């Protein structure tokens, strides 16, 4: 098979996975992630120049792909190009947000007033957020919730989780990634304290 034929076959396969994902097939989305995540991460890394930020963008890309799968039209473009378009948009948004945050932090640093511990409103807000996170965790598939809880609450690395559960390392990484996608989708605008679990140490 020539390189051109391989490309066409690959794109048809990816398009089929997106179509199945549009019907709610989580396995298809997991397969699409495994097949294309290196490409997505590579583009995000080139734009952002930061591995952690690129990993966060990759998670957001597949969350959006999952939500927008029904809008994908394989007759109008290839699945790979569709994913790269989402990646480029997300990475640029992330880059702009980071620049704004740096500017805001610089301004706040000049006027920050020291304080002792969190106030009542902050304590209440944190308690509410913990409840929302627990609720979102309960809504995950059992194998995804188990992997994320081991990574976040027990601080196991991905390799340690794979050994503990008797599963391939790639399977564990996929469970954590897809679980994080579902969590971020459920928690909406909240900044999930579980974000670090998606990047467990190797």
CATH number at residue 41: 1.10.1740.10
**Residues of the domain holding 29:** 3-98
Instruction: Per-residue pLDDT tens, the chain, 202 aa: give them.
Output: 445 455 555 656 888 899 899 899 989 999 999 999 999 999 999 999 989 889 999 999 999 999 999 988 877 778 899 999 999 999 998 888 877 665 555 444 544 444 444 555 555 566 676 777 777 778 888 888 888 888 877 777 888 888 888 888 888 888 888 888 877 777 665 554 444 444 343 3
Residues 11 and 88 in one domain: yes
Q: Is 104 part of any domain?
A: no
Are residues 70 and 22 part of one domain? yes
Closest residue by Cα to residue 11 from 61, 77, 90: 77
Angle subtended at Cα 88 by Cα 20 and Cα 201, rounded to the nearest 5 degrees: 80
DSSP character string of 78-108: -HHHHHHHHHHHHHHHHHHHHHHHHHHHHHH
Q: Are residues 23 and 70 in the same domain?
A: yes
Q: Is residue 105 part of a domain?
A: no
115 assigned to some structural domain? no
pLDDT of residue 192: 45
Distance between CA atoms of residues 58 and 133, nearest Å: 21
Same domain, 68 and 139: no
Please tell me the distance from the alpha carbon of residue 150 to that of residue 155, in angstroms, as a whole number.
6
Residue-by-residue DSSP string for 20-45 = HHHTT-HHHHHHHHHHHHHHHHHHHH
Q: What's the confidence (pLDDT) of residue 126?
A: 63
59 in any annotated domain: yes
* Assigned domain for 107 exists: no
Same domain, 154 and 78: no
Number of domains in the chain: 2
Tokens coding 74: 């394989």
Asked if residue 103 is part of any domain, the answer here is no
Q: What is the pLDDT of residue 2?
A: 47
Same domain, 80 and 7: yes
Cβ atoms 41, 58 nearer than 8 A: yes
**Contact (Cβ atoms closer than 8 angstroms) between residue 151 and residue 140:** no
Is position 113 within any domain?
no
Q: Which phi-psi region, left, alpha or beta, contains residue 23 (left: φ > 0; alpha: ψ -120 to 50)?
A: alpha
Q: Tell me, yes or no, whether 151 and 64 share the same domain.
A: no
| Amino acid 150: pLDDT | 82
| Cα end-to-end distance, the chain, whole Å | 36
- Tell me if 185 sits within 8 A of 68, measured CB to CB: no
Same domain for 90 and 33: yes
Whether residue 66 sits in one domain with residue 7? yes
- The reply to whether 22 and 90 lie within a common domain is yes
Inside any domain, residue 130? yes
| Same-domain pairing of 80 and 144 | no
On whether both 152 and 193 belong to a single domain, the answer is: yes
CATH of the domain at 154: 1.10.10.10
pTM of this prediction exceeds 0.75: no
């Amino acid at each position: 098979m020539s390189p051109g034929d391989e490309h066409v076959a690959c794109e048809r396969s990816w398009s089929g996975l997106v179509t199945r994902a549009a019907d709610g097939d989580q396995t298809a989305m997991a397969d699409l992630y495994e097949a294309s995540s290196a490409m997505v991460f590579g583009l995000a890394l080139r734009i952002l120049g930061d591995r952690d930020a690129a990993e966060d963008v990759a998670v957001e890309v597949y969350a959006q792909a999952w939500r927008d799968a029904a809008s994908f039209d394989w007759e109008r473009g290839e699945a790979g190009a569709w994913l790269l378009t989402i990646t480029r948009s997300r990475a640029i948004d992330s880059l702009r947000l980071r620049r704004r945050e740096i500017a805001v932090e610089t301004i706040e640093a000049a006027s920050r007033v020291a304080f002792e511990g969190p106030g009542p409103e902050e304590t209440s807000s944190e308690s509410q957020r913990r409840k929302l996170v627990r609720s979102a965790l309960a809504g995950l598939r059992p194998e995804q919730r188990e992997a994320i809880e081991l990574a976040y609450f027990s601080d196991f690395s991905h390799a340690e989780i794979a050994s503990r559960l008797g599963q391939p390392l790639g399977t564990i990484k996929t469970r954590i990634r897809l679980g994080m996608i579902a969590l971020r989708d459920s928690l909406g605008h909240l900044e999930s304290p579980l974000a670090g679990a998606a990047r467990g140490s190797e």
